[in-house]
């Protein structure tokens, strides 16, 4: 599965490069309809952010969806997207327009009506965060949140079974944390018994101010594009060995897990160890997604792929995101991005590009 993820990435990049030559036919759109959330996870980097100005209304979303390129892939995230106004209509409309949609959520607002929409209209992928068994998850996210999420996921799987549908594919995203890594092997095993088709995404935290989901900058000159990944871990040598054992244990069992960010080269376990020791020593491979990928915020602001730079607002483009790629202003921003190598720091930790160990200068 990990190899498959790498190939999908490589193919998407090749396609992105080629399709940019004929006008952005394949388009990856990240939606952040809100930055708000009903929870306050200690590692969350969006919870103190707020969208400024008026949010897009139902008719504005409709105009925008009508004008999306045919093969748009949509990744909905937040904050917590399911607390955004109009979110059900938005998801339903995207699915009715046959877009390939994935939704990332904390799982608490997956109500019966929404689950029915996701199954019958065939959401492609549902990613739900779990930090460990009840005592760990509830400690981080609040009383009974684990039980509520599991109850919602059980209901989802029941509706899929009744509807004889395999959609949406369920991925559980688990952040690797100092208090959960020793029990993750058993926890993942329990999840796989409960949800046999589940995919496990093991997330290595990163902290990069250049990343989307924050107040948007007005220029590449801002300090945040030079700071890189400032995440620090405090694993002892023995704890690092336990993390490596977890990886090899899961691999031996043929578990369907993958790590984010992911690393180039065959010795993945050694790279994970190095990342946990020195997160900033990894840099992403050249990435061309900004040619075909934008993030749209609930207030209409637009940024390149998922970087925290404001390009403009979709209202200025008459709700047609295709116009952004042809805009001289955007093309000049991209030229600066690549010519001044902003990506070396700004992209550190991004889960969309493979990372490699930086050569010493």
* Residues in touch with ligand SF4 (CB under 6 A): 37, 39-41, 44, 46-47, 78-80, 106, 129, 284, 287, 289-290, 305-307, 343, 347, 350, 352-353
Q: In the complex, what is the shortest distance from the CB of residue 91 to ligand SF4, in angstroms, rounded to a whole number?
A: 17
Q: Report which DSSP code applies to 309.
A: B
CB of 210 to ligand SF4, least distance (A): 7
Nearer to ligand SF4, 129 or 199 (CB): 129
Label the pairing between strands 26-32 and 293-297.
Answer: parallel
What does the block give as tokens for 283?
A: 């840099």
Give the shortest CB-287-to-ligand SF4 separation in angstroms: 3
What residues form DSSP beta bridges with 128? 105, 172
Instruction: Say if residues 238 and 334 touch (Cβ distance below 8 Å).
Output: no
Cβ-based nearer residue to ligand SF4, 93 or 343:
343
Radius of gyration of the chain (CA): 20
Question: CA 296, CA 322: separation in Å to the nearest integer?
Answer: 13
**CA–CA separation, 234 and 240 (whole Å):** 10
Choose between 47 and 201: whose C-beta lies nearer to ligand SF4. 47
Nearest-approach distance from CB 276 to ligand SF4, in angstroms:
20
Minimum CB separation of residue 106 from ligand SF4 in Å reads: 4
39 versus 55: smaller Cβ distance to ligand SF4: 39
CB of 166 to ligand SF4, least distance (A): 26
DSSP 244-269: HHHHHHHHHTT--EEEES-BSSS-HH
Q: Of 44 and 123, which has the nearer Cβ to ligand SF4? A: 44
Closest by alpha carbon to 50, among 66, 34, 65, 38? 34
Residue with Cβ nearer ligand SF4 (251 or 335): 335
């Amino acid at each position: 599965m990990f190899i498959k993820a790498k190939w999908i990435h490589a193919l998407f990049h090749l396609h992105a490069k080629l399709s940019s030559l004929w006008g952005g036919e394949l388009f990856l759109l990240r939606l952040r309809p809100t930055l708000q959330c009903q929870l306050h996870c200690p590692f969350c980097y969006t919870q103190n952010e707020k969208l400024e100005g008026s949010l897009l209304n139902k008719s504005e979303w409709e105009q925008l969806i009508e004008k999306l390129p045919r093969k748009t892939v949509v990744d909905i995230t937040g904050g917590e997207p399911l607390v955004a106004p109009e979110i059900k209509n938005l998801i339903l409309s995207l699915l009715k327009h046959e877009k390939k949609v994935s939704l990332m959520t904390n799982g608490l607002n997956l109500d019966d009506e929404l689950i029915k929409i996701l199954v019958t209209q065939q959401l492609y992928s549902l990613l739900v965060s779990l930090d460990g068994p009840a005592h760990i998850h509830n400690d981080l996210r609040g009383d009974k949140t684990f039980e509520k999420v599991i109850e919602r996921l059980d209901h989802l799987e029941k509706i899929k079974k009744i509807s004889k549908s395999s959609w949406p594919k369920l991925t559980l995203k688990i952040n690797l944390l100092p208090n959960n890594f020793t029990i993750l092997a058993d926890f993942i095993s329990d999840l796989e018994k409960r949800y046999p088709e589940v995919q496990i995404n093991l997330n290595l935290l990163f902290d990069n101010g250049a990343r989307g989901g924050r107040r948007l900058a007005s220029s590449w000159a801002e300090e945040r594009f030079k700071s890189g990944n400032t995440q620090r871990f405090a694993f002892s040598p023995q704890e690092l060995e336990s993390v490596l054992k977890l990886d090899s244990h899961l691999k031996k069992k043929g578990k369907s897990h993958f790590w984010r960010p992911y690393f180039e080269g065959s010795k993945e376990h050694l790279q994970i160890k190095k990342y946990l020791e020195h997160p900033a020593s990894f840099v992403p491979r050249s990435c061309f997604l900004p040619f075909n990928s934008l993030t749209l915020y609930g207030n209409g602001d637009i940024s390149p792929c998922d970087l925290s730079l404001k390009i403009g607002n979709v209202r200025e483009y008459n709700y047609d995101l295709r116009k952004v790629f042809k805009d001289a202003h955007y093309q000049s921003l991209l030229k600066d991005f690549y010519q001044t190598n902003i990506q070396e720091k700004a992209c550190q930790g991004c889960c969309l590009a493979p990372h490699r160990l930086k050569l010493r200068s």
